[in-house]
Amino acid sequence: MVVAVEKNLGGLSSAEYERRLEKFEARINRGEKIEPADWMPDDYRQQLIRLIHVHANSEICGALPEGRWIPHAPTFKRKLALLAKVQDEVGHGQLLYRAAETLGPSREQMIEDLISGKSKFSNVFHYPAETWADVAIIAWLIDAAAIINQTMMAEGSYGPYARALKRICYEEAFHMKHGYEMCVVLANGTKVQRDMLQDALNRWWTPIMMFHGPSDKESKHTAQLVRWKVKLKTNDEQRQQFLKQFVPKMLDLGMKIPDKSLRYDKASDTWLYDDPDWNEFKKVVNNGGPVSQERVEARRLAHRDGQWVREALAAAAERKPVPMPPTN
């Protein structure tokens, strides 16, 4: 799809804009990172703000489905690991809002946009975590899918985002191990536990297949993002990578994948599958999913109930700094 867009030249003459653009693209081709103070095309800035903002929103909304199960975690080991994982997700949100701030918008504004429904978050967090096994599936497979996406994005051209993603991927790798281990235990557990795990996979399979975004024939952003090394692989390429890595592992655990047409095609070295309903995906990410309103409401409540705290901190900071006690 080719759309004629009037470029925002940022007050530059057309010739000057082209000159700068050429230099900018040459830097990217050489593998250099673009830093906050560097010149960048407005399109690049806006695309990055959109991506990082959605990513940050997804981290703090993603804390909700798993966070709901922290009080119910059934052993010390699980409770400590889950609490640490959800804490990491909130930490990623904080890191990413800061990365987005380097491009202009304030955190306050970005959170306002999330709770007013103006900005989006990942499709998978619009679904409920109904049982303890959902926590295992989320930590294993959604974190796995996220690692595929983020490892790629970490090679991207914008410095602050790439650096944040390096650290995030490192932590996500632990989450995935924690999730896989939970799945192994449930898959080898009692019938109740095995059924719980299969039921969770049945409900999560389609959202996970949608996680990397619309198929390449429908995705409108990809081409330019690839050229500017914001994104290095298409949605379908990422999905294939996920299937190749994880379908065999799921089958090993005795899990049944709820897509009858899923099969490996040797000739093309790809997994063939039933393409998800992308209209459903669009509806979900526009806050029309099963628990979209609940997620946004949880964020709105946290923000609203924290208003007096933020005001008090600002007022206290204007008075005098609180001295730290001796540390011996």
Partner 1 sequence: MDTKAFQSLDCLPGTLREAVINLLYRLADDELVIGHRNSEWTGHAPILEADIAFSSMAQDEMGHAQAYYQMLHQLGEADPDTLAFGRKPREFRCAALVCLPKGDWAFSVLRQFLYDAAETVRLTAFVESTLVPLAQLATKLRGEEKYHLMHGRSWVLKLGVGTEESRGRMQAALDVAYSCALGLFEPTEFDEPLAQAGIAPRESELRRQWESAVAPVLADAGLHVSEAAKPVYGGRVGRHPEALKQLLDQLQLVYNIDPTAKW
Q: Rule CB under 8 A: which residues touch partner 1?
A: 60, 63-64, 67, 69-76, 78-80, 83-84, 86-87, 90-91, 93-94, 97, 132, 185, 189-190, 192-193, 298, 301-302, 305-313, 315-316, 319, 322, 324-325, 327
The smaller minimum CB distance to partner 1, of residues 40 and 136, is found at: 136
Minimum gap (Å) between residue 253 Cβ and partner 1: 15
Look at the block and give the residue holding tokens 């922290």.
70
Minimum gap (Å) between residue 316 Cβ and partner 1: 4
The smaller minimum CB distance to partner 1, of residues 94 and 215, is found at: 94
The smaller minimum CB distance to partner 1, of residues 118 and 304, is found at: 304
H-helix or E-strand spanning residue 271: strand 270-272
Minimum gap (Å) between residue 231 Cβ and partner 1: 26
Q: Which long-range contacts (CB under 8 A, 24 or more apart) does 46-51 make?
A: 47/221, 47/224, 47/225, 47/228, 47/230, 48/100, 48/103, 48/158, 48/161, 48/230, 49/100, 49/103, 49/104, 49/105, 50/119, 51/153, 51/161, 51/230
Distance in angstroms between the alpha carbons of the first and the last residue of the chain? 65
Phi-psi category of residue 252: left, alpha or beta, with phi > 0 → left and psi -120 to 50 → alpha: alpha
Minimum gap (Å) between residue 76 Cβ and partner 1: 5
Contact (Cβ atoms closer than 8 angstroms) between residue 43 and residue 8: yes
The smaller minimum CB distance to partner 1, of residues 170 and 264, is found at: 170
Minimum gap (Å) between residue 86 Cβ and partner 1: 5
Cα–Cα nearest to 56, from 142, 150, 176: 150
The smaller minimum CB distance to partner 1, of residues 26 and 312, is found at: 312
The smaller minimum CB distance to partner 1, of residues 179 and 276, is found at: 179
The smaller minimum CB distance to partner 1, of residues 21 and 82, is found at: 82
CA distances from 142 to 114, 206, 297 (A): 21, 12, 23
Minimum gap (Å) between residue 172 Cβ and partner 1: 16
Phi-psi category of residue 3: left, alpha or beta, with phi > 0 → left and psi -120 to 50 → alpha: beta
Minimum gap (Å) between residue 221 Cβ and partner 1: 27
